[in-house]
Structure 1
Amino acid sequence: MGCNSDFLTVSPQTYQSAGNFFQTKDQFIQATNGAYAPLQFLYSGTNAGPGGSFWALAEMRSDNTSYQYNTGDRSGFPLEELDEFREINTNSTVADFFNRSYSGIARCNVILGRIQNAQIDAATKTQVIGEASFLRAFYYFNLIRLYGNVPAVFDEVTSTDAAFAIAQPKAPGEIYPTILNDAKTAITNLPDSYTANTDKGRATKGSARMLLAEIYMTQKNFSEAAKELQVIVQSGKYQLNASYADNFNIAKENGPESLFEIQYIEGSNAEFSNFIYTFAPWNSGSKVAALGVASGAAAGWNMPTQDMLDAYEANDQRKAASIGLDFTDPATNKVVPYVRKYQSVHSIRYQTGSNFPVYRYADVLLSLAECLNEIGYSAGGEAFTYLNQVRRRAGLTDKTAGQVASQEAFRQAVAKERQVELAFENHRWFDLLRTGKAVEVMTAHAAREKAAKSYVINTAYQTISLTLPYPLREMQLIPK
């Protein structure tokens, strides 16, 4: 004990810490896998109920979906608030999405900071930088669109003082340059595809190009967006599935139409999804989900609205593939529509392996059609070609210049097509924001909802807010 030598001061070889972890190729790959992990929660709320789920903020916030009123269990009120634009800054879903997103950003920051001097092979370093850059851009893009001003954290935070120093929210204009740079870095560094089954779900050049195009479209830079989308189309690496339903068939996940999807695995492994239970009527029992839905606030969410049902044209094959109309509420004797596109066979209750699609080739085609029209309307031009590819797959006839005779008419046609093609895939609210239609569409939707639903309270839809409230806890951490 009197010895001054430090030979007894050693780090356990089995203990991993930030100081000794980021050393090898396998460790950086493991860390990158961890940077994807928050996406599973953001998209399904896995292991934590519906809180934090993207669909509550991107679908229920729009005219696509609402909720099934449950008189016996009122614990789901935070989601009801989001649907009716009456949420407050203590809303748990608002806070959960914010926190989980920054957890992902923090992991990306550590990876991007530590890998620069890491002694690993160049190929791995390139790929890891590409994946971390894509993920950081993706997390930030969603935060900006949902919250507006948010903290700009682009480096590893190593102290409490440093954390407080970057807590002040920044305007999107101060963050977008880094997001754009990250997306471009991802395109440069990522491969076109992967060969190993264990790499399914990783971001690719196609994923990054679609992200960059969506960012450009949000900024109304349609020319640059079109360039990225045309590269995807001309690459020949993607195509529409023969059947729309194949996109959601668990046996055909990560197929030819998929650019990026959130990966889930059935089983007690903390990697499962539970969409079909959350999106089932809360009192449907085993009629919707074969293994049975427990009545209560864990179900009855993201339910298709009448506006959504009315959006489909006659004979549109996507409606039957997307929406179930086979459950009648025994209390009201009314049909309760529910999202069925994520239905899958599984053997463990509440634990499915259904992935969640983020970017599909149909989205590429419709986005390119929109961009070309914004650059300049052309009767029967190339934009019609891309729009009609998607329509034909749905069993519908082509749109013609006689039917869609102006730039504004084409805008409306694309918006309607996106609503039904990408229904329940977390696009609708962002489309309304991006096109400046959110207030107009949601004000009209609110009037119809209030007229049809006696339980909608007076304070619902009073203000169609375009951003979510900044979480109270985060606001309290901002230095005064």
Structure 2
Amino acid sequence: MKINIFKISFVLLVVMILQSCDDYLDLKPEDGTVRQEFYQTKEDVQAAVIGIYDAMLNQPAGVNDRPLTDYLFMWGEMRADMVLATEYASNDERDITRFNILDTNPITTWSAFYRIINFCNTVIELAPGVLEKDPTFTQEQLDSYVAEALTIRAYLYFTLTRTFRDVPLKLDATLTDQDNFQIPKSSQQEILEQIALDLKEAEGKAKENYGSPAANKGRITKYAINALQADVYLWLEDYNSTVQACNKVINSGNYALIPANNSWFNIVFAEGNSTESIFELQYSLNNLNPFYDMFFERPRYTASARVTEEVFGVNFQDPTKKDIRGDRASLVAINNYIYKYIGLTTNERKSRATSDTHWFVYRYADILLMKAEALNQMGDNEGALALIGQVRERATALDQTERNPSDTEGITDYILEERAREFAFEGKRWFDVLRNAKRNNYERIDLLLSMAAYSVPSDIQQSVLAKLEDSNSHYLPIYFYELYANKALEQNPFYE
């Protein structure tokens, strides 16, 4: 990809604006979570950990950036086949959906992630010193806080490596301007292996119960760690470990699918913290989510036109029979508005002032379907189909979306179809298809090509399909300013 005059001018302009900034990865210390003098008491450590969760929900003051959940949605959905960018979307957003991606597109910035990673690193590094300063601070309390920081850091790196593949792996805190900002990328394999090590450590330190449903769903528990472990092991193609991690959640007895009824949507999504939930980023009436504008008032994204009929299915003989996850749950069929984050009930949406629906990181159905994927790869086709059946039965899935595959490839397709129904618009679709496509040296590249054939306009379809034949195109470019700030970085190969 040749660098044109416009791009050079743009880069120079931004460099001039930012030339006083020397903070690689946006890690320059700028609030209490990263100041050494802040860590004096157990209350300070607690405040720092709460600050990490707060940073995952909100834009930092004075920083021109999006909330983290914006990126979680965009990176997981916009290149997939279930979302369309509307007239209200920016050109940068539309470019992502059309696979016209340059390293000057601000959607490729990772600053929000590394900023929070530094908060996690700071807790991991400085919290142990508080044991000597505060005699009321116990080892058990310290372990629990460190487990939360380790796991959130692992989740953020997991998102980064699935999005960019190779990224800088920084495991120590940036506390002063003199710290080294020139850090090369680590490989995806190295990052996944480090994540697995961190999660193993966190599992041994974490709490199982914080004493209330909201805390148990909104903070990192041992079972949230197990859910993330299962996901990571799928990417590492360690299927035995995936099953073991899933079984820890299943055998805990803390989680269950809620049977289909008129309150299902309200309980699981509008209210949140249900028995189906494992970990949610929790918005509230005092801290509203960004989804109202994203999906309703001037919706930047809607569901693809194919979702209602082809993903969930429609019973034309008896429209009252439907998959509970479809119309008036994931979307509104009549106009394709994404409903999951703005609905109160199946008939009533929330207002802007009550837009407090959470971001769902892991739900119990994810455990069942991840285990099904692992069993399928291990040759246990019947076990995989039984787990898919559990999820479908709870959802009253339509007969027309039922499959009866008898081979690994067919069950892979079936699992992906079921994951599309279950996790519509939850930031998982692109990663689900990529994970299955790349297995065995891209044995199922057809999964990505078929998805693109559905999602991109016909006039650019052949160009996009040609791009996707190159596995380097499956990952986003490194934002140009990161390359300017960190000379040890190299651009992802497809975008050089």
Fold shared by both chains (TM-score > 0.5): yes
Tell whether the 8 Å contact from 2:79 to 2:430 is kept in structure 1 after alignment: yes
Cα distance between partner residues in 2 of 1:135 and 1:460: 34
**62, 68, 77: which one pairs with 1:59?**
77
Question: Which runs of no fewer than 5 residues in structure 2 stay unpaired?
Answer: 1-31, 132-136, 315-321, 439-443, 489-496
Hey, what does 2:265 align to over in structure 1?
245
Q: TM-score, normalised by structure 2?
A: 0.78
Hey, what does 2:311 align to over in structure 1?
311
Larger radius of gyration: 1
Tell whether the 8 Å contact from 2:213 to 2:273 is kept in structure 1 after alignment: no
Hey, what does 1:422 align to over in structure 2?
423
Tell whether the 8 Å contact from 2:295 to 2:301 is kept in structure 1 after alignment: yes
Q: What is the DSSP-based 3-state SS (H/G/I as helix, E as strand, rest coil) of the residue aligned with 1:357? A: strand
Root-mean-square deviation over aligned CA pairs = 3.0
The one-letter code sitting in structure 2 at the alignment partner of 1:63 is D
Matched, 1:177 2:197: no
Hey, what does 1:323 align to over in structure 2?
331
Q: Cα deviation per residue 1:295-324 (whole Å; 9 max; x = unaligned)?
A: 5xxx23143342564122343221112110
Question: Which runs of no fewer than 5 residues in structure 1 stay unpaired?
Answer: 1-14, 281-292, 327-335
Q: Cα deviation per residue 1:198-248 (whole Å; 9 max; x = unaligned)?
A: 735001111000101100001111111111101211111100122352454
Hey, what does 1:256 align to over in structure 2?
275
Residue 377 of structure 1, CA deviation: 3.1
Hey, what does 2:365 align to over in structure 1?
362
Residue 108 of structure 1, CA deviation: 0.7
Q: What is the DSSP-based 3-state SS (H/G/I as helix, E as strand, rest coil) of the residue aligned with 1:142? A: helix
Cα distance between partner residues in 2 of 1:477 and 1:349: 39
Hey, what does 1:207 align to over in structure 2?
224
In structure 2, relative to structure 1, the CA distance for the partners of 1:370 and 1:317 (3 Å cut) is same
Q: Cα deviation per residue 1:391-446 (whole Å; 9 max; x = unaligned)?
A: 00111378999922222221111111111111111111111111016853443344
Q: TM-score, normalised by structure 1?
A: 0.80
Cα distance between partner residues in 1 of 2:46 and 2:115: 17
Cα distance between partner residues in 1 of 2:33 and 2:151: 26
Q: Cα deviation per residue 1:5-52 (whole Å; 9 max; x = unaligned)?
A: xxxxxxxxxx9982321111111011011122332259xxx9966895
In structure 2, relative to structure 1, the CA distance for the partners of 1:469 and 1:324 (3 Å cut) is same
Tell whether the 8 Å contact from 2:279 to 2:360 is kept in structure 1 after alignment: yes
In structure 2, relative to structure 1, the CA distance for the partners of 1:305 and 1:440 (3 Å cut) is farther
Cα distance between partner residues in 1 of 2:323 and 2:454: 24
Matched, 1:125 2:137: no
**481, 486, 492: which one pairs with 1:473?**
481
Q: State how many pairs are aligned.
A: 423
Hey, what does 2:51 align to over in structure 1?
34
Hey, what does 2:413 align to over in structure 1?
412
Cα distance between partner residues in 1 of 2:82 and 2:311: 9
Residue 344 of structure 1, CA deviation: 3.9
**Percent identical residues:** 26
In structure 2, relative to structure 1, the CA distance for the partners of 1:219 and 1:112 (3 Å cut) is same
Cα distance between partner residues in 2 of 1:26 and 1:411: 48
Tell whether the 8 Å contact from 1:134 to 1:186 is kept in structure 2 after alignment: yes
The one-letter code sitting in structure 2 at the alignment partner of 1:78 is D
Tell whether the 8 Å contact from 2:268 to 2:274 is kept in structure 1 after alignment: no
Residue 197 of structure 1, CA deviation: 6.8
**462, 467, 477: which one pairs with 1:463?**
467
Q: Cα deviation per residue 1:258-316 (whole Å; 9 max; x = unaligned)?
A: 1101110124xxx3203133112xxxxxxxxxxxx2x5xxx231433425641223432
Q: Which has the higher helix share?
A: 2
